[in-house]
Amino acid sequence: MMVSDLIHDATIDRQDAEVLLASILEVERAWIYAHGDAQVQPTDIHRFRTGVEALISGEPLAYLLGYRDFWTLRLRVTPDVLIPRRETEHLVEWANQCIGDGALRVLDLGTGSGAVALACKSEHPEAEVCGVDLSSQALACARANGRDLALSVEWREGDWFDAVPGERWQLILSNPPYIAADDPHLYAGDLPAEPATALVAGKTGLESLEQIIERAPEFISRGGWLLLEHGFDQAAAVREILANRGFTTVSTRRDWSGQERITGGQWLS
C-alpha cells in the first residue's frame, strides 16, 4: 500500500495521520509529501492502523508518540503530565526577556514535563532554574527531559511554594490549573485524557492563580516578576488580583489566536 493511500484512508485529521506515519517510518513529515508513491511495509501498516484506532478512541497523539515538540525542544510526555501547548511558548518568550534583563533566579511552579523551565534554560544557560511539581510522576518525566537535553535544572517536589521555603526568586513563572470544575471544555480534544490535577483549579478556575499570587511576595525579590498563564477569559480577573496584592506594571499579552493569555506583574515593595 502506498503512503498517499494510507494517509487518505485514515479516518483522523490528516495532519495527525502524517505525523503518526512519519514517526512510524522514522522520517520527517516532509518526506510524506515527497514520497506519496512509496510502498509501506505490512508491519508498518499494522502499526499505523493500530495508532489510528488509538487516536479515534481518545488517546492524544502526543501520548501515543511519547513526545511533543515545544519551543526548540523535543520533550518526552506521558499521561502523567499536561501536553505542552503552543500558547505556553508566549510565557517562555516573556520569561526570556526578563532573564535577559537580569532575572537569573527562575522558579517554575507546576512544571509538569519541565517544558517552560527547560525552554528558559536552553536559551539562558547562565540562569539558575528550578522546577516544582506536586506530582512525583510528573517530576520523573521532567528529570528525564532534562537528562535527554543535557540541561541542568533543579527539580523539587512540593505544593507550590512549599517546595522552596525561605528562598527568593527574581522571576516566578507558572502555567497552573485554571479550568473550572464544570467547564465543558474538559470533555473536548485531548483534555479528557490529561491529568485532571494539571487542568482543574476548582469551582471558579481561579483558585490556583489566587494561591500563587497571594503567596508570591514572600518568595520574590524586590524588582522581580511574576508571570502567569491563564484562561482566555480570565485576564481581567488576574490583573485585578495582582494589582490588589501590590504588584505593579501589571499587563497582559495575547496568544497566537489573539486571546489574552499571559498576565504578569512586578514586585517593587
**Residue 82 cell numbers, joined:** 499536561
Q: Residue 192's pLDDT is what?
A: 87
Beta bridge partners of 179: 200
Closest by CA to 82, choosing from 23, 142, 130, is 142
**Annotated domain spans of the chain:** 3-57, 82-267
- Per-residue pLDDT tens for 178-216? 999 988 888 888 888 889 888 898 999 999 999 999 999
pLDDT, average across residues 90-114 = 98
Beta bridge partners of 74: 69
Classify domain 82-267 by CATH number. 3.40.50.150
How much is the pTM?
Answer: 0.91
- Per-residue pLDDT tens for 10-55? 999 999 999 999 999 999 999 998 999 999 999 999 999 999 999 9
CA gap 170, 95 in Å, rounded: 11
Q: 10 Å Cβ neighbour count for 255?
A: 18
Cβ neighbours for 177, distance < 8 A, ≥ 6 positions apart? 110, 197, 198, 199, 200, 201, 208
